[in-house]
Every structure is written in structure tokens, then in C-alpha cells.
Amino acid sequence: MSSGLTVAKQRSMCSRQPTPNHDSAARASAASKSGQTAYFDTVTDYRYMADYDDRVNASGQPTRNEGIYFGRTGVGGFMSTDGNDLNVVNPKTRSDSALAEVFIHEVQHDADQHQSGKNWEDQSGPGRPTSPYVAPRWVYNGYQTEFRAYWMNTEDTQRDNFGFSGNTRVNNRTINAVYANAAGAPQRAGSANTNFRNGRQQGIFSHMFRTEAPGNIYRQGNSWTQSYAYLPHHYVFDENFRAMVDNMALPAAGNLINSVRIQDLSDAMATRNANRVRAAVDELDSMDVNYLNDRSLTQDFWDQARSQMTQATVDYLLARLARG
């Protein structure tokens, strides 16, 4: 744990940080992770007493890091990977609008059904690549769910700090990455130029990749060296992943508005039971209908509808959408 995050742990990066330690900043600094925050406890279930080793070394530094997670400072909340538990960190310290952003962001991670085996999981990339230079499927889904969640943090895309989607003046940049083995010895270096389509896409990418790692090493053996380290690493080394990131200029999704009725409809479609689907269609409200009528932001929903619904059931849905 003290050397970094395992490859598997990075999967739900935004959503894994519990509460900061009392010696959070000093501990992160002693672990050569200045600017990050140490959180406890990654081992104990949150319902029980969390614990960590607060003993210090001869220099007065806390360095015993079993169960400690190092991550981004100022995390607002996190959603469990099964989508059942939404946790908010230090809510008293946040404004109402900042809290609303946390809720929208974290609920979107569940609503977009990107997790392994869920209705709208992206099947790009291998499940278990044997090469460290090939992006696995969870990296595709991980980037896409963050992209959607950040995109939807606020409804007014001109006022948050990610930039405006209508702004096509972007600043592309060169990303450098080095893969090192577990001992830290560089194995391969590479670089790639970004190709953003709009300012909001660029803003979200730059938020997720805002700190260049020492030596540009984002993956060392099987460990990631910082939050969202998979992004610069695979952006440089895997051209298929890079193409997906460059082309994701809008949040193609199935349920960007976090609607429980659209979730129910998706679940009903997965059963292929026409009566259940029609009942779920009947529950849609006008906001659901407005959203599903926008074909540019609902691709995952319509892909599922086309593959799992009969034409008669699709027609029933279309008739509902036509009524507005």
C-alpha cells in the first residue's frame, strides 16, 4: 500500500477516498506525495472503527502506511462501486452548490451504468491485457464515467471551471509518459499530442491530469503513481484509447440526468419483458422525455433499446416521446 495504488484499485479513483488522517499532509509528504492527502482506512469497513498506525520515525515523520490511501486533496465524496452507497466527505465545509455538484457527480457514476456487466458498459479494450501498454476495459469505462460525471456537475456549462462546450478554441498539449518497472527503472518513454474538440472536453481532461509526475512516470510495475495516472499513461502508450479520448467531445451516455425512471426503463429492457417495458415507459416524466428526445446525448440508451426491444415496443416508446 505504501508504494502506491495497485492497478485494480485505480478503477474507481474519484470514489475511493474516505476521511483524511489527522497527520494527513505530513504523512503524504513523508511518502513523497506532497500536495496529496492521506485518507484512512482502506481496510476496515466504514461501519466499524477505522484505524491506522500513527507512530513516527526518528525524524518525527509518520511513515507506517498500511491501510492508508493517498489521493487528491479536497475530495467531496464517493460512490461505492456497486452503486448502493454514496458517501460525502466533510459536508459542513462545503457550500450548498458545491454539495449539489458532489451529489450530481457521484450519482451519475451509478446512473451511467458503466461498471463491469452493467447495461451500458463499454466493451472496448481487453478485460485483462498482458502488456502494460494496452489499456484494459476498465480504463475506457473509468475515463468515460468521469467525463460524464464532470460534464454534468453543473447544469450551466458556462459557469463552472471546466469551460464551455461551444468554445472550439482549444490549447492542445504534448503529454509525456515513461513506464518504469517495479524497481523504478525506465522501460519505455513516449509522447502524444492531444486533439481536443472543445473547451469543456479540454477542461475535464486537464482537471483529471493536472499534475505531471516526477520523471513522467505514471505506472511503476503494477502500481499507479497518482490519481487518474491511467489517463496520461494510456493516452501516450495506447493509440486506441487515445482516439477514444480525442473523439469523446460530448458525453455520449444513457442517463445523464440521473433519472430513476430511465434507470427502471433500462432494467426493464434488460428483462426483454414487453409488459414491464411498457409500464416503465408510462412512468417517464417530461424531463425524461426531453432528454430521450435528444439523440446526441442518449446513445447508450438507444443502443440498448435497439438490441433488446421489439419494434412494437420501440414504437410504444417513440409514441410516448412524441407526445412530449
Give the footprint of Zn ion on this chain (CB under 5 A).
14, 146, 149
Q: Which is nearer to Zn ion, 122 or 146 (CB)?
A: 146
* Cβ distance to Zn ion smaller for residue 14 or 30: 14
- Asked if 250 and 295 touch (Cβ cutoff 8 Å), the reply is no
| C-beta closer to Zn ion: residue 150 or 241 | 150
Q: How far is the CB of 111 from Zn ion (least distance, A)?
A: 12
The answer to whether 253 and 297 have CB atoms below 8 angstroms apart is yes
Q: Which long-range contacts (CB under 8 A, 24 or more apart) does 72-76 make?
A: 72/17, 72/36, 72/37, 72/227, 73/35, 73/36, 73/37, 74/37, 75/14, 75/17, 75/37, 75/39, 76/101, 76/102, 76/105
Least CB distance from residue 17 to Zn ion, whole Å?
Answer: 11
CA distance 187 to 215: 12
Of 149 and 229, the one with the shorter C-beta distance to Zn ion is 149
Q: Which residue is nearest to Zn ion (CB)?
A: 14
Angle among Cα 133, 137, 138 to the nearest 5 degrees reads 100
Distance separating alpha carbons of residues 125 and 119, to the nearest angstrom: 17
**In angstroms, what is the minimal distance from the CB of 239 to Zn ion?**
25
| Smaller CB separation from Zn ion, 149 or 180 | 149
Q: Smallest gap, in angstroms, from Cβ of residue 315 to Zn ion? A: 37
State how far Cα 148 lies from the chain centre. Answer: 8
What's the min distance (Å) between Cβ of 119 and Zn ion?
A: 19
